[in-house]
A and B are shown apart, each in its own frame.
Chain A
Amino acid sequence: MQSTGLALLSPVTTRINSDIILLYPSHSAQALSKTLESSFLDLFLLKKMKAGALELGSASKGSTPQAGVNRGVSILDFILRIVALVGTLASAIAMGTTSETLPFFTQFIRFRAQYHDLPSFTFFVVANSVVSTYLVLSLALSILHIVRSGAQGTRVVLIFFDAGMLALLTAGASAAAAIVYLAHKGNAKANWFAICQQYNSFCERISASLIGSFAAIVVLVLLVLLSAVALSRR
């Protein structure tokens, strides 16, 4: 009996408070050492299993603080989307409803300025309308991300469309900005006359409508950032 115990376990030494207690396998000590060994191995097994389970992702993540941060990010994403929607819609409406008719006219020509006289402004109105429609449709996806914080594929889709809409909106806004700058300053070399000197309220209106669009551009950049951060924190 004693020899089998020795084969199982070498002497277990415990040192408590400068007292050295050597447990050699004896009758009762053998049972004690066996229970010690089995309990250590049980702990070891449990730890490994827990680690394996965590790696497989079977543990629920609903109650971790990381999921809470992801949810906060999704809520911020939703709010920013609404802000961008308001900005683009306001810009489209402000540009689309400008019209100024000068008080003097000749027999053949009536001096009127509207947004569709300049193709860049038409493109601006169209781009802002498309982006505001996209933002309305993506609000649904944003709500889905609030409810299910773990969705990854839809976040990548959202980033793709957000980047595409960012490019479209920036193109429209900067093309209109170039024409507005030309309308304010003119160009002596190309013999282009600054029309703002005659069409005052038209100029003010088109300049102000650029603001909402550029604010929406900044918000779209932030949206892409937020989605990227939420993806990487998963």
Chain B
Amino acid sequence: MEKGDSTTINITSESSKERKGKAPLLAAPVMAATTNTREDGGNKRGIAIFDFVLRLCAMVAALAAAILMGTTDQTLPFFTQFFRFQASYDDLPTFTFFVIANAITSSYLVLSIPFSIVSIVRPHAVGPRLLLIIFDTVMVALTTAAAASAAAIVYLAHKGNSSANWLAICQQYNDFCQSTSGAVVASFIAVVIFVFLVVLSALALRKS
């Protein structure tokens, strides 16, 4: 191998007049592109901050739903010798599913807060946003399933069903019915917030 296989061409000094003459022609289109991305970054940062706030609200709603349903317990003041009239959430498997699903949702929301903060700090990062939108969609499905099935049972408890001979238990267990209805409402609020979160992430993912 020969010693110097490289080609070095040094043009060291260029007069300042020539430099000034060439630069402005190139600066204009490049400058326009960078201001566009800077505005974009500001928009995306605003969307990310809104996303963070909504995430906190959804976490509060899901946690409230789980706690409200999980701590309802009503014992009727009368009882027979063998039977005690008691109603709690684990008497109905649907309510158990409701409590578990809302607990999963609120813990997911707690774990997704760092990703939300990352997308505030770095508005142009695609990875965290994509991850958030994927998991938010799955959580929409899970939370809606829990809320809607509990709503069906609560509706049945309020109205009963004459064709199936199912009695309306709310006429006896008043407090239980009220707490479970409140928990279902809180869960539906969390669902609506999740749908907004998905749309916000989609808006922020655009490359304009």
Instruction: Point out residues on A near B: beta carbons under 8 Å.
Output: 7-10, 12-18, 36-37, 40-41, 45, 48-49, 51-53, 55-56, 113, 117-120, 152, 155-156, 159-160, 163-164, 166-167, 170-179, 181-183, 185, 187, 189-193, 195, 217, 221, 224-225, 227-229, 231-232, 234
Given the known interface contacts A51-B30, A52-B29, A170-B140, the answer about A193 and B164 at a Cβ–Cβ threshold of 8 Å is yes
CB distance from A59 to the nearest CB of B (A): 13
In angstroms, Cα B141 to Cα A164, docked, is 10
Closest A residue, CB atoms, query B138: A221
Residues of A within 8 A of B164 (CB): 117-118, 183, 192-193, 195
| Interface residue from B30, B126, B149 paired with A52 (Cβ < 8 Å) | B30
- Beta-carbon contact of A174 and B9 below 8 Å: no
Instruction: Point out residues on B near A: beta carbons under 8 Å.
Output: 2-13, 15, 22, 26, 29-30, 32-33, 87, 91-94, 126, 129-130, 133-134, 137-138, 140-141, 144-153, 155-157, 159, 161, 163-167, 169, 191, 195, 198-199, 201-203, 205-208
> What are 30 A-B interface contacts by the 8 Å CB criterion?
A12-B11, A17-B5, A36-B9, A37-B11, A49-B29, A52-B29, A56-B32, A117-B161, A117-B164, A118-B164, A159-B199, A159-B202, A160-B199, A163-B195, A163-B199, A175-B149, A175-B152, A177-B149, A178-B148, A178-B152, A182-B153, A192-B167, A221-B137, A221-B138, A225-B133, A228-B134, A228-B201, A229-B130, A232-B126, A232-B129
In angstroms, Cα B156 to Cα A183, docked, is 12
Residues of A within 8 A of B91 (CB): 187, 189-190
